Amino acid sequence: MRKTLYFSIGFVSVILGLMIAFQFRTVGQVDSAVPSDRAQLLTNQLKEIEKETVTLLIEANDLENKLTRAEKGQTEASEAVLEELQKVRQIAGFTQLKGPGVEVYIAPVQRAGQHNENNWYIVSDEDLLLRVVNELRAAGAEALSINGQRIISTSEIRLAGSFIDVNLTRISPPYTIMAIGAPDQLESSLLIKGGLVDSIRDWEVTVTKQEELLLPAYKHNVKLEYAKPLKEAK
């Protein structure tokens, strides 16, 4: 579109230049000793050219305005694309986010008679973390992290020997889960009577509302090998 507008403006400019040159030449001819009927004819032609010149000037001005609007529209479109990309990156977990929410602290309770071994509590960690994350998501959590690992759609929370793997990174107790969302709603989803926290044994669970949490960005690359975008119908 921009090339077309530039071409149109250039074409109009050339025509205007030729017309102006023709006007000067015509005026010079009229001033010479020519027959009166010929002079009248040239005068009439000159008036027609003047009218066409005005029309072309208007058209040139209109084309310049269209070009300006097109360039402005292109800038606005680029800004809209960048804004949409930023939103997608935020939702996907590839940017840091801050906002209100809750901080959930989970630590094992060492009871009398239990040996202080690294893996005595690990067996239930995976299930516990998954349950807490799912409860927070169901309560409207917009972003989550566990021990500094951002949770995204492809994040795994799984038992790996005597450790828990999150985003292919080993973590161990105590666990700190941060969730951005409506603090009251997130808190009540965990502390409701007969809810998740009430059903947990051998763990100390503390839920604290926060005015502002800072969640890290997901630090790994995501490669889609089999999933392909579906083309929208025209």
Q: In terms of Cα–Cα distance, which of 129, 133, 140 is closest to 99?
A: 140
Higher local confidence (pLDDT), 65 or 99: 99
Contact residues for 164 (Cβ-Cβ < 8 A; gap 6+)? 122, 125, 126, 129, 157, 158, 170, 171, 172
Kindly indicate the confidence band of residue 18, based on its pLDDT and cuts at 50, 70 and 90: low
pLDDT at residue 6 tops 70: no
Give the pLDDT score at 26.
47
DSSP H helix total and E strand total for the chain? 5, 8
- Residue 29: the pLDDT is 47
| pLDDT band of 191, cuts 50, 70, 90 | very high
Residue 233 has pLDDT above 60, yes or no: no
What is the rounded average pLDDT for all residues in the chain?
Answer: 78
Residue for token digits 């529209």? 73
Q: What integer pLDDT is reported at residue 225 of this predicted model?
A: 81
Confidence at residue 166, expressed as pLDDT on a 0 to 100 scale: 94
Confidence of residue 127 (pLDDT cuts 50, 70, 90): confident
CA 55 to chain centre: 45
C-alpha to C-alpha distance for 62 and 11, rounded to whole angstroms: 14
Alpha-carbon span 48 to 87, nearest angstrom:
58
Q: Higher pLDDT residue, 90 or 217?
A: 217
For the cut 70, the answer to whether the pLDDT of residue 122 exceeds it is: no
Q: What's the pLDDT score for residue 10?
A: 56
Q: Which residue has the higher pLDDT, 223 or 44?
A: 223
Residue percentage of the chain with pLDDT more than 90: 34
pTM metric for this prediction: 0.65
Judged against a pLDDT cut of 60, whether residue 123 lies above it is answered with no
* Distance of alpha carbon 211 from alpha carbon 192, whole angstroms: 21
Q: What is the pLDDT of residues 64-83, one digit of tens each?
A: 778 888 777 777 777 777 88
Round to whole Å and give the CA distance between 14 and 16. Answer: 5
Which residue pairs from 82-89 have beta carbons closer than 8 angstroms and sit at least 24 positions apart in sequence?
A: none
DSSP E strand stretches across 120-232? 143-146, 149-151, 157-160, 163-166, 169-171, 175-180, 203-215
Out of 25-34, 175-184, 221-230, the most confident range is 175-184
